[in-house]
């Protein structure tokens, strides 16, 4: 079960009140009641976000699922009874937040490195004899598809991201590493004045 989520690589990781309820083996309304009761204390660590989930079966009102950052979730858990499931969940949640932050740090380092390659890619497209007004977008879309299996529009839809969010911010550190490798390969192909079809074939083949 996924314990920690993130909207994009520049946002704060969070968990959900429903996740806390399930893993701590308490009722969701117990968790949400604590959130409402101690809202002022929790918001010392930032505004509490939420998601609205519609019921998939039967009738009833949509449920509100609160988004809690690491300090908010940590504080909330201290208000739960110190049962065995709660203690186990505390450890798992700490590990999940740590893992997510490590992933974000790896991503940020790789993202800074990628920016250097991106300028080289643009320069290679500038000097490409087959360049047209759509070349920059087409090459970027091709790289995204080769790395993730999805074109940018599909990748954003998968993450619920708007078109303003760069696709690279939706990739994992491992995908970004592969993207950089493919970007270097694309630069070489462009410098060799290969056609778009040849570049696509080479990127997909390797």
pLDDT tens digits for 60-70? 677 889 999 99
Distance CA 84, CA 98 (A): 22
Q: Distance of CA 83 to CAs 63, 64, 95, 104, Å?
A: 26, 25, 19, 32
Distance CA 204, CA 199 (A): 9
Q: Return the pLDDT at 88.
A: 93
Res 56 pLDDT > 80: no
179, 168 contact by CB (below 8 A): yes
Q: How many CB atoms lie within 10 A of CB 196?
A: 17
Distance CA 29, CA 32 (A): 5
Query: Alpha-carbon torsion 159, 163, 167, 170, what sign?
Result: negative
Q: Return the pLDDT at 206.
A: 65
Res 58 pLDDT > 60: no
**pTM score, whole prediction:** 0.58
pLDDT band of residue 57 (cuts 50, 70, 90) is low
Q: If DSSP codes are grouped into helix, strand and coil, which group holds residue 86?
A: helix
Query: Alpha-carbon torsion 29, 31, 32, 33, what sign?
Result: positive
pLDDT tens digits for 119-160? 899 999 999 999 999 999 999 999 999 999 999 999 999 888
């Amino acid at each position: 079960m996924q314990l920690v989520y993130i909207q994009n690589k520049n946002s704060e990781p969070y968990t959900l009140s429903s996740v806390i309820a399930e893993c701590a083996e308490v009722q969701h309304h117990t968790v949400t009641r604590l959130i409402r009761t101690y809202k002022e204390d929790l918001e010392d660590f930032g505004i509490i976000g939420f998601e609205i989930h519609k019921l998939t079966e039967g009738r009833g009102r949509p449920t509100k699922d609160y988004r809690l950052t690491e300090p908010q979730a940590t504080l909330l858990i201290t208000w739960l009874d110190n049962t065995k499931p709660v203690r186990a969940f505390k450890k798992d949640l700490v590990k999940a937040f740590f893992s997510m932050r490590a992933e974000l740090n790896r991503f940020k380092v790789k993202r800074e490195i990628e920016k250097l390659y991106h300028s080289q890619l643009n320069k290679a497209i500038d000097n490409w004899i087959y360049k047209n007004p759509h070349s920059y977008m087409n090459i970027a879309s091709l790289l995204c598809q080769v790395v993730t299996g999805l074109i940018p529009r599909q990748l954003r839809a998968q993450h619920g991201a708007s078109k303003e969010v760069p696709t690279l911010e939706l990739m994992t550190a491992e995908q970004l590493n592969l993207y950089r490798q493919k970007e270097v390969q694309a630069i070489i192909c462009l410098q060799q004045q290969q056609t778009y079809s040849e570049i696509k074939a080479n990127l997909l083949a390797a």
